[in-house]
Amino acid sequence: MLDKVNGILRRQEEILAELATPDVADDPGRMTALMKEQAQLMPVAEVCLEYRKAEDALCDSRLLLEEEEDPEMRDMLSEEIENAKAQKEKAEAELRILLLPKDPNDRRNAIVEIRAGAGGDEAALFAAEIYRMYVRYADRRGWKTEMISLNENGLGGFRECTFQVNGSDVFERLKYESGTHRVQRVPATESGGRIHTSTVTVAVLPEAEEIDVEIDPKDCRIDVFRATGNGGQCVNTTDSAVRLTHIPTGIVISCQDEKSQLKNRARAMKVLRARLYDLERRAAHEKRADLRRSQVGTGDRSEKIRTYNFGQGRVTDHRIHLTTHRIDSILDGDLDEIIESLIRTEQAEKLANEKEVEA
pLDDT of residue 195: 86
Edge-first strand listing for the sheet containing 220-225: 220-225, 241-246, 251-255
pLDDT one-digit tens code per residue, 85-138: 999 999 988 888 888 878 888 888 999 999 999 888 899 999 999 999 999 999
**Are residues 106 and 168 in contact, defined by beta-carbon separation less than 8 angstroms?**
no
pTM of the model as a whole: 0.74
Residue ranges with strand state E in 22-143? 110-116
Rounded alpha-carbon distances, angstroms, from residue 336 to 135, 322, 344: 14, 13, 12
DSSP state of 325: S
Distance CA(163)–CA(166), nearest Å, equals 10
| Least confident segment among 62-66, 110-114, 203-207, 350-354 | 350-354
Number of other residues whose CB lies within 10 A of the CB of residue 359: 5
Give the pLDDT band (50/70/90) at residue 228. low
For residues 344-359, average pLDDT: 80
pLDDT of residue 359: 60
pLDDT one-digit tens code per residue, 133-171: 999 999 999 999 999 888 888 788 999 999 999 998 899
Rounded alpha-carbon distances, angstroms, from residue 289 to 283, 285, 293, 298, 346: 11, 7, 7, 11, 16
Rounded alpha-carbon distances, angstroms, from residue 333 to 8, 29, 296, 310: 36, 36, 21, 16
Q: Closest Cα to residue 180, out of 251, 126, 255, 125?
A: 126
Residue 4 has pLDDT above 80, yes or no: no
pLDDT one-digit tens code per residue, 288-332: 444 333 334 444 445 689 999 999 999 999 999 999 999 999 999
Q: Closest Cα to residue 182, out of 287, 350, 63, 301?
A: 301
| Least confident segment among 128-132, 205-209, 280-284 | 280-284
**Are residues 78 and 65 in contact, defined by beta-carbon separation less than 8 angstroms?**
yes
HSE toward the beta carbon, residue 180, CA cutoff 13 A:
11
Residue 27 has pLDDT above 90, yes or no: no
* Burial environment of residue 137 by CB neighbours within 10 A (0 to 12, 13 to 18, 19 or more): buried
Selected residue with higher pLDDT from 358 and 167: 167
Reported for 142-145, long-range contacts at CB under 8 A and 24+ positions apart, including other chains, are 142/167, 142/168, 143/167, 143/168, 143/170
pLDDT of residue 78: 92
Query: Which residues, 6+ apart, have CB-to-CB distance to 58 below 8 Å?
Result: 81, 84, 85, 88
**Are residues 304 and 182 in contact, defined by beta-carbon separation less than 8 angstroms?**
yes
Give the pLDDT band (50/70/90) at residue 237. low
pLDDT of residue 45: 87
Residue 201 has pLDDT above 70, yes or no: yes
Distance CA(12)–CA(6), nearest Å, equals 10
Which domains can be identified in the chain, with CATH numbers?
2-98 (1.20.58), 110-347 (3.30.70.1660)
pLDDT of residue 144: 96
pLDDT of residue 196: 87
